[in-house]
């Protein structure tokens, strides 16, 4: 082979080597190293973390994530995916927290970075479907504790996310969260900044439960009926009675001194739907309700979670 031909071949080989070497160490190589998901492989992830709220006719914001068609259709506010453009896809902005409220509603924990990257690659690839036979994402029911196990935030969070957090979140169905109460995290649910809605160990003193039961008005969830089932209501009651445990199973402290505001019906023993009330000499009584009449109670949480009344009036 002539010397100039050998040199040309060497130069070509060197250029190919340099080019492919750069490609294999750059973003293209990283993309090759991470296979692109399809709807069939992503559906289980969405079923586990998202479908509890985004399924069937009650899907939050009208967004169904239990089918590829639902993902493509988007929400009542517009598309959530832009094929080929993950950075401008609302679903990516939500799971990253650059748009609020951050998703999934039950977080933290949020989606791991690796799962977010899977969604980004899928959108960048144009939403490939994969094997339709394995691509269904069945709705997940609220997790129930096994017999003998305590009820924790893990069991209650999906229920609150599905039926309550559509409104009780920033930029929710009603705009700002009603009365500033958010149900998007454990800490927010137990917050006592203005008043406390969950008194650990005392379901009857917990406004959250009393709203669900219809003792305090308006009854919740606001889009009911249907209201929460007896089973779901009992789950919330058991969670509070067992100390409003966090995801790790640790009971919450009683917020002694926090304000409470409760509605209900007074009985012949001066209790509010069976809840004992501690009415001291300094309490303000306005039109003391008789047995069977409605009452509004304002007070504070005392030792052991008892309700120390500051004001009571009939309604």
Which phi and psi angles does 300 have, rounded to 5°? -135, 160
pLDDT for residue 31 is more than 70: no
What's the pLDDT tens digit per position in 221-268? 988 899 999 999 999 999 999 999 998 899 999 999 999 999 999 999
3-state DSSP assignment of residue 130: coil
What's the pLDDT tens digit per position in 266-287? 999 999 999 999 999 999 999 8
Q: Region 27-33: what's the mean pLDDT?
A: 43
pLDDT for residue 131 is more than 80: no
At 28 the pLDDT is 38
The reported pTM is 0.67
Fold observed for domain 39-134: Cytochrome Bc1 Complex; Chain D, domain 2 (1.10.760)
pLDDT for residue 6 is more than 80: no
At 143 the pLDDT is 67
Which is higher by pLDDT, 210 or 40?
210
At 167 the pLDDT is 84
pLDDT for residue 164 is more than 90: no
pLDDT for residue 34 is more than 90: no
Please classify residue 200 by burial: count the beta carbons closer than 10 Å to its beta carbon, then call 0-12 exposed, 13-18 middle and 19+ buried: buried
Domain-wise residue ranges, the chain: 39-134, 153-314
C-alpha–C-alpha distance, residues 218 and 140, integer Å: 28
For residue 305, the 8-state DSSP code is: G
Grade residue 30 by pLDDT with cuts at 50, 70 and 90.
Answer: very low
3-state DSSP assignment of residue 138: coil
At 27 the pLDDT is 38
What's the pLDDT tens digit per position in 11-27? 444 333 333 333 334 43
What's the pLDDT tens digit per position in 71-99? 999 999 999 999 999 999 999 999 999 99
Mark out the alpha helices in 26-152 (DSSP H runs): 27-33, 39-49, 68-73, 90-96, 113-124
């Amino acid at each position: 082979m002539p010397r100039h031909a050998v040199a040309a071949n060497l130069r070509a080989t060197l250029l190919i080597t340099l080019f492919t070497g750069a490609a294999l160490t750059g973003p293209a190589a990283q993309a090759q190293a991470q296979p692109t998901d399809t709807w069939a492989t992503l559906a289980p992830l969405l079923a586990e973390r998202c479908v509890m709220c985004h399924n069937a006719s009650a899907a939050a914001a009208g967004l169904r994530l239990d089918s590829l068609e639902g993902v493509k259709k988007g929400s009542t506010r517009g598309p959530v995916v832009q094929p080929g453009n993950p950075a401008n896809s609302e679903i990516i902005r939500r799971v990253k927290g650059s748009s609020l409220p951050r998703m999934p509603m039950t977080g933290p924990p949020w989606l791991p970075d690796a799962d977010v990257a899977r969604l980004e690659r899928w959108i960048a690839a144009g939403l490939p479907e994969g094997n339709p036979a394995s691509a269904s994402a069945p709705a997940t029911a609220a997790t129930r504790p096994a017999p003998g196990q305590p009820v924790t935030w893990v069991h209650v969070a999906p229920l609150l996310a599905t039926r309550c957090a559509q409104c009780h979140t920033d930029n929710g169905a009603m705009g700002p969260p009603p009365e500033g109460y958010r149900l998007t995290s454990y800490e927010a649910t137990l917050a006592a900044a203005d008043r406390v809605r969950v008194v650990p160990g005392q379901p009857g003193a917990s406004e959250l439960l009393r709203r669900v039961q219809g003792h305090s008005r308006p009854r919740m969830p606001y889009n009911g009926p249907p209201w929460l089932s007896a089973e779901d209501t009992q789950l919330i009651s058991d969670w509070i009675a067992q100390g409003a445990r966090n995801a790790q199973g640790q009971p919450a402290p009683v917020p002694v001194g926090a304000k409470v505001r409760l509605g209900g019906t007074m009985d012949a023993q001066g209790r509010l739907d069976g809840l004992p009330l501690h009415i001291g000499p300094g309490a303000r009584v306005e039109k003391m309700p008789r047995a069977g009449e409605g009452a509004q109670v304002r007070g504070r949480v005392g030792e052991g979670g008892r309700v120390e009344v500051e004001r009571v009036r009939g309604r």
